[in-house]
Structure 1
Amino acid sequence: MRTPFLMAALLLLTACDGGGDPVQQALRDTSSANHAAATKTTEEAAVDHAAMGHGAGATPGDQAFAASEAEMHRRMGAASGETVDQAYIAKMIEHHRGAVAMAEVALKESRDPEVRRMAQVVVDSQTREIAEMQAWKPTAAQ
């Protein structure tokens, strides 16, 4: 995504006013912005998602998934871990939960038997994978 990179570059340029290390300041500012974005409510995230050309104002099909997509992105952004492994597991659990939420929308709204079958497969497999990831324990070598 270009927005965080552009924000970091802009902050880096504006931080060069002689007050401390501009790179460190840019990193702090970007971290603060990312934290603020990750702590938005589902409604705020849906509005932002719509402003980017998704969700409200998009097709009725897109609108059906806007809230679940926004919530998935918010939860993935908030998920973290001390190591790459732990962060990966935390973020993927949220990603899979988002897939389940989207599949549940399809199960509720779709009348196409093949789409409903695929959505049920997603619910079953992603739920199983969430349980597998939740059971994962870091190895002592980490």
Structure 2
Amino acid sequence: MGQMMDGQGNGVMDGPAPQGTQGGDPQRAYIERLIEYHANGLDMANLVVRKSNDARVLQIARNILVEQSREIIDMKAWLKRQ
């Protein structure tokens, strides 16, 4: 499976495909992996909301919480339709 880049040329999704997707549908594997990636982003954003005093960083973290939560819901709905 390919990897996503972080804008700095670094792969951010290295490693094996999610369990149960090896040799399976690459679209499903992509969505499953992206859900995991977004969930990690939510964990980090929640930490920032609890610990940061920087207004801009807090704004970014809150935006991530809203957007990535919505995207996880959309991706899980897509998986259920498959």
**TM-score with structure 2 setting the length:** 0.70
Tell me which residue corresponds to 1:4.
Answer: none
- Aligned pair count reads 64
Q: Secondary structure at the match of 1:119?
A: helix
Structure 2, gaps ≥5 residues long: 1-12
Report matched runs for 1:86-101 at 5 Å.
86-101=28-43
Tell me which residue corresponds to 1:102.
Answer: 44
- 1:77/1:91 contact within 8 Å kept: no
**TM-score with structure 1 setting the length:** 0.41
Tell me which residue corresponds to 2:58.
Answer: 116
**Max radius of gyration: which structure?**
1
Question: Residues 77 and 103 (structure 1 numbering): CA distance in 2 closer, same or farther, change over 3 Å?
Answer: farther
Identity %: 31
Distance in 2, matches of 1:92 and 1:77, equals: 13
Calculate the aligned-residue CA RMSD, in Å.
Answer: 1.8
**Dislocated runs of 4+, deviation >6 Å:** none
* Distance apart, 1:114 and its partner CA: 1.1
Q: Secondary structure at the match of 2:53?
A: coil
Q: Which has the higher helix share?
A: 1
Distance in 2, matches of 1:77 and 1:132, equals: 24
The higher-RCO structure (CA 8 Å, 6+ apart) is 2
- Would you say 1:79 and 2:18 are equivalent positions? yes
Q: Secondary structure at the match of 2:58?
A: helix
